[in-house]
Amino acid sequence: MLSSLYKTYSKTSVTNTIKRLNSTMPKKDKNGTAIVFMNMGGPSSVPEVKDFLYQLFSDYDLIPISKNYQPTIAKFISSFRSPKIEKQYAEIGGGSPIRHWSEYQASKVCEALDKTNPETAPHKPYVAFRYAQPLSKDTYKKLLEDGITRAVAFTQYPQFSYSTTGSSINELIRNKKDLDKDDQIAWSIIDRWPKNDGLTSAFAENIQAKIAEFKKEDPDFKEEDLTILFSAHSLPMDVINMGDSYPAEVGATVYSVMEKLNFNYKYRLVWQSQVGPKPWLGAQTADIVEQLNDPGKEKLILVPIAFTSDHIETLYELDLEVIGESKHPKNIKRCESLNGSETFIRGLIEECDHHLKNKTPFHKNLDLDFVLAKKDPNGNAPLRKFFTK
């Protein structure tokens, strides 16, 4: 009798203990975690250029023209500008490489996270572009088809701007409302990472490689004759004057890179890609290059500090226009883009690893970013309701 009671008690105790342990252990989602790289994107082929331009100029968050007539205006602008932009893409090989590099980077991140973060594995790579294939809406449909229930939106704009990351967030929220009314997918977001160690170290390594080229080519090279120009995509002053955090965060990236270079060289932050008649953030990259390159003595290194991979702004605007049309092109080098840099990909992995383990749904400044952009996070952009874990 006593023996029977003891066996029953032991089995019950063991069962209860296992239940208690299971209740305290983190739940592992059998479908794993989607890591979604968000970016502007670029046309992968010349025939995609017109639609890319239409999507871009239709975005009121990026280019505020007219809420009522923006699509009509975008249709006109894209038709008008397509022939010129198509020629530019033809000159850089027939399309943008940004999709290739985004898919490569995302796959490498997920491979590493499966080993470092088994509790959220398997990690599945996705790319969601705002203006090119694969468009954000198509990627969201794919996530639902694949049965994804947890996803991390990982902006590939390291420095936050409402015009870029903010626009992608708004599109993500619209897609969820249209496609995911049952809330199948729980989202969190990495919305900025301007001082990420892998990011800034990769830039520093690529700059040092260009300095080594100058030294090899010119035995009389002197460090005091070198200026590093960090070039970032400019924004209209209308956006900046609302308190957008982009200039400060780009500056933080630049400063972190120069720290790694021990501030051994002169440097300046400049801005590129201005379009339209409105005032934009300056000084403009092309103007500063022309000024410094004119005597023919100064060595210049251009660093695309706000881009994580090559696209039209590096391959055409910097390489063929700014450098190609300069008076002394041999004195200017463009720093390699991050693309497949192992140091950079390590930084991406570390950023995701920290995010998954920290379980913070989004950066504390994101609410303020939307308030200053006159988008109430509790109204038009319900951030706390949308980003949950």
Q: Is 242 annotated as catalytic?
A: no
Pick the catalytic residue: 56, 281, 302, 338? 56
Per-residue pLDDT, 4: 43
- Kindly report, residue by residue over 57-72, the tens digit of the pLDDT: 998 888 878 878 889 9
Highest CATH level, class, for 33-194+344-386: alpha beta
The catalytic position among 38, 53, 62, 300 is: 62
**Whole-number pLDDT of residue 294:** 80
The side-by-side arrangement of strands in the sheet containing 150-155 is 123-129, 33-39, 150-155, 186-190
- Residue 62 is among the residues annotated as catalytic for this protein: yes
Check if 267 is active-site.
no
User: Pairing between strand 299-304 and 332-334?
Assistant: parallel
Annotated active-site residue 6? The verdict is no
Residue boundaries of the structural domains of the chain: 33-194+344-386, 197-334
| Residue 363 annotated in active site | no
pLDDT at site 276? 74
Q: Is 268 a catalytic residue?
A: no
The segments of the chain whose pLDDT lies below 50 read: 1-11, 14-15, 17-28
Residue of 61, 244, 310, 336 marked catalytic: 310
pLDDT for position 25: 39
Reference 284, options 227, 234, 248, 323; nearest CA is 234
Active-site choice (54, 131, 140, 267): 131
- The catalytic residue among 61, 86, 126, 130 is 130
Token pair belonging to 288:
């500063």
| Active-site annotation holds for 131 | yes
Which CATH topology does 197-334 take?
A: Rossmann fold (3.40.50)
Determine the 3-state secondary structure of 252 from DSSP: helix
